[in-house]
Structure 1
Amino acid sequence: MAVEGRTLSEIYQSSKRLLLKTRGGLERLERFEFSSSNGVDSPELSYAIKRDISQIQSLCVEMDRLWRSVASKPQRDLWKRKVEQVAEEADSLKESLDKHLLRHQKRMMEAKERAELLERANGDSAHVLRIFDDEAQAMQSARNSSRMLEESYSTGVAILSKYAEQRDRLKRAQRKALDILNTVGLSNSVLKLIERRHRTDKRIAYAGMVVTIIVVYAFWRWTH
């Protein structure tokens, strides 16, 4: 029996050679897959294996028609088993190739996801660094404001201390003056005049203290 000038035996031998070639191709493809650090596929080799499997399956279709025309039943049964074996092996090779392609597709998806995660991570890192920088600037500004407030407070305290010292010296001077006036026997009108001057000086000292406190408070509010 022949199809396009080829006998069943010739077609069978062609299918066996293609099976051998396809098995070798799959072995090379798997070695290439597992030896590559990132599991890169060889598209040319995958395409060649897929083409050879399709050709084997076409040959099986031809042989399936031919063995049915064999006159001898024992020979017909023998060819049936041979053709079935070739078809089963072709299906097994196709399944192995499909599994390889699925693994390759999965690796590509995982690599894409890792790249996207890395890109997002880099973007988040930059955002976090910007937040830290803003917070550092805010903390530095707060420290500067606190230092300015402490300096203003120290200045206010020093001013108030000066006023207190001046008030004490004024009181001591007034007491000495009163003692002297009492000693020389000055009139009550002179004593009252001195007392009024004393009260006036006291009001001036207190007014200065109040103004200083207001200035320090206003400066503190302005820095915050």
Structure 2
Amino acid sequence: MDSGAGGGGGGTLSEIYQSARRLLLRARDGLNRLEHIVSSSSSSSSSVNDLALAVKRDITQIQSLCAEMDRLWRSIPAKPQRDLWKRKVEQLSEEVESLNEIVSKHLVRQQKQMQEAKERTELLSGESSHILRIFDDEAQAMQSARNSSIMLEEAYSTGVAILSKYADQRDRLKRAQRKALDVLNTVGLSNSVLKLIERRHRTDKWIAYTGMVVTVVVVYLFWRWTH
């Protein structure tokens, strides 16, 4: 191990520190872009979430490097160098922790927004289904009412037709009844006339017979009186 650099293991302390600083710069740049996207009206949930996860991966890798550097600086023999690297690693760890808190808040906020959007979608979907069911029920009720109205109209028309037929038949029956009564009245009047004529005929016949008898009697009496 290089005591001046405090190196060891998979690289010197300086090399690991430089790698961690590059990752830190990239994480800061990603966080700036993340905040810009979030503030933009055209931001999408997928882009925000993907960028936040990328920054989160860089922070996790930096934290792993900080743990490695914390092990390495403790093995530096010289106290001044050991204290210097201690401050550097602690400062880097604090910066990474600060970034981690910001990104974690973004992820929590994003997850909350996605959950709310999902709940709104499910709610709207449920309300839409409920509204569609209401409309369907109302449509079925209206169709049933229309069918009932059509049936009533047909029944009314049928009833009117039947009543009209009955009325027509009643008129025909009344006319037939009047004709029958007229015929019966006529027949009755003819019978009366015939009976009257027959009685008159009999009367005339008896008058004729009576006249004949009277004439014979008168002739006989006159003949007897003259002889």
If the length of structure 1 is used for normalisation, what is the TM-score?
Answer: 0.59
Structure 2 residue runs of 5 or longer lacking an equivalent are: 195-227
CA RMSD of aligned residues (A): 3.9
**Higher relative contact order (CA closer than 8 Å, sequence separation 6+):** 1
Q: In the TM superposition, what whole-angstrom CA distance separates every residue of 1:12-48 from its partner, at most 9, and x where no partner exists?
A: 5554443333111111123234434432236664454
Please tell me the residue identity of whatever aligns with 2:161.
Answer: T
Alignment check: 8 A CA contact 1:26 1:97 kept: yes
Once the 2 structures are TM-superposed, how far is the Cα of residue 92 of structure 1 from its aligned partner? 1.7
Alignment check: 8 A CA contact 1:33 1:41 kept: no
Q: Which shows bigger deviation, 174-183 or 149-158? A: 174-183
Cα gap change, 1:37 to 1:63, in 2 (>3 Å): closer
Runs of 4+ in 1 over 6 A off after TM superposition: none
Pairwise mapping of residues 40-51 of structure 1 onto structure 2 (< 5 A)? 40-41=46-47, 45-51=51-57
Structure 1 residue runs of 5 or longer lacking an equivalent are: 188-224
Alignment check: 8 A CA contact 2:63 2:96 kept: yes
For residues 113 and 146 of structure 1, what CA distance do their matches in structure 2 show? 48
Cα gap change, 1:78 to 1:6, in 2 (>3 Å): closer
For residues 124 and 183 of structure 2, what CA distance do their matches in structure 1 show? 87
What residue number does 1:153 align with?
A: 159
What residue number does 2:99 align with?
A: 93
Once the 2 structures are TM-superposed, how far is the Cα of residue 3 of structure 1 from its aligned partner? 1.6
If the length of structure 2 is used for normalisation, what is the TM-score?
Answer: 0.59
What residue number does 1:103 align with?
A: 109
Cα gap change, 1:86 to 1:70, in 2 (>3 Å): farther
What residue number does 1:29 align with?
A: 34
Matching residue within 183, 192, 196 for 1:185: 192
> What is the DSSP-based 3-state SS (H/G/I as helix, E as strand, rest coil) of the residue aligned with 1:3?
coil
Q: In the TM superposition, what whole-angstrom CA distance separates every residue of 1:118-161 from its partner, at most 9, and x where no partner exists?
A: 65566556655654554444334323322221222112222222
Alignment check: 8 A CA contact 1:33 1:40 kept: no
Alignment check: 8 A CA contact 1:40 1:104 kept: no
Structure 1 residue 20 corresponds to structure 2 residue 5: no
Once the 2 structures are TM-superposed, how far is the Cα of residue 91 of structure 1 from its aligned partner? 1.4
Alignment check: 8 A CA contact 2:45 2:110 kept: yes
Q: Which shows bigger deviation, 154-163 or 35-44? A: 35-44
Q: In the TM superposition, what whole-angstrom CA distance separates every residue of 1:80-131 from its partner, at most 9, and x where no partner exists?
A: 4443332122112122222222333334444444555565566556655654
For residues 13 and 177 of structure 2, what CA distance do their matches in structure 1 show? 138
For residues 50 and 37 of structure 1, what CA distance do their matches in structure 2 show? 19
Please tell me the residue identity of whatever aligns with 1:142.
Answer: S
Percent of counterpart pairs with the same letter?
40
> What is the DSSP-based 3-state SS (H/G/I as helix, E as strand, rest coil) of the residue aligned with 1:41?
helix
For residues 48 and 77 of structure 1, what CA distance do their matches in structure 2 show? 33
